[in-house]
Homo-oligomer: A and B are copies of this chain.
Amino acid sequence: MQSSDSQSNDEANLQLNPDGSLRHLLTLKGLDKSLLLELLDDAEQYLSPEGMLPVRSNALAGRTVANLFFEPSTRTRASFDLAGKRLGADVLNLDVNTLSRKKGESILDTIYTLEAMAVDIMVVRDASTGVPAYIARNVKDFVSILNAGESDASHPTQGLLDLLTIRQRKGGFENLTVAIVGDIQHSRVARSAAYGLRTLGVGELRLVSPPAMAPDDPELSFATIVDNLDEGIRDADVVMALRIQRERIGNLDGIPNIDEYFASFGISNERMRLAKPDAIVMHPGPMNRGIEIESALADGAQSVITQQVTNGVAVRMAILVRVAASMDAR
């Protein structure tokens, strides 16, 4: 544990400039409350009053952003691509298939190459834990690394968009009960949301899953671990369903198939009657409708799922501008 904690602290420190401003975004763990709130405030500025159309700027004109996705992604890649373009950046999308095919080049050599091409910001998604931090430790002063999804470990821009969505609808965090439901153990989405919610002083966080999918991360011990959906949802203000990987269901004790999973851990309109009447429903997408979430609920009045997507672009614009702003001062 000690070594793991040290590493976490190291990673948290790594993402800050000496003056405390944000240089990389690797994890929400260790970012303090005031910085998190500032980032949410920044993101609000990129939403129009109607909360929909993005406000553009030229804050990144002359900057280059490279999207380096070693894992396939449609929505997060598109979100970063649009965020960069709407800020006037040059955006370079690197083909993940081409990259993986080119055997024999280390990931650091790929990074050094982009660095030598004067890429200012690298957005990295990778299937292995530790890759974004490893890269961040090795780049030159002028480069910022943004984690766009890291194995099961971290997905900080997703965490920020979840926090922003909750604050928009609920006004704050202190008195809220938030339930995250699904395969907590393998979810970078759950982890990033949990770290952020802890820092912002959430009332209660419940992590709801079949026992085999319960978290084994001591960092999450502040949360209430629940293995019964009714109990997990009861009186909640926020219910977040996680995407389940179908192939994991077959191996679960007492959950032999998809129908059984939906019956036990699927969020439905009926289930939501246990939550507060004004509770909101979240999902990071892409959804397996009818498995972890009922289709009618996803499209219903309590759902804030499309707002999450919109907020994702705003959050990514805010992060891009933040790290770019600190470049000249480094």
Contacts and interface: CB of A to CB of B under 8 A. Distances in A.
A287 B103 CA distance: 10
B117 A313 contact: yes
A301 to B, nearest CB: 16
Contacts of A308: 116
A112 interface: yes
A64 B81 CA distance: 11
A303 to B, nearest CB: 11
A289 B78 contact: no
How many chain A residues sit at the interface, stated as a range, is 35 or more
6 contacts: A72-B98, A74-B110, A78-B92, A78-B94, A113-B285, A116-B310
Given A53-B118, A78-B94, A117-B309, 10 more contacts: A72-B101, A74-B99, A74-B110, A74-B113, A85-B92, A109-B286, A110-B286, A113-B306, A116-B308, A116-B309
Interface of A: 52-54, 56, 62, 64, 66, 72-75, 78-79, 81-82, 85-86, 90, 92, 94-95, 97-99, 101-102, 104-106, 109-110, 112-119, 246, 285-289, 306-310, 312-313
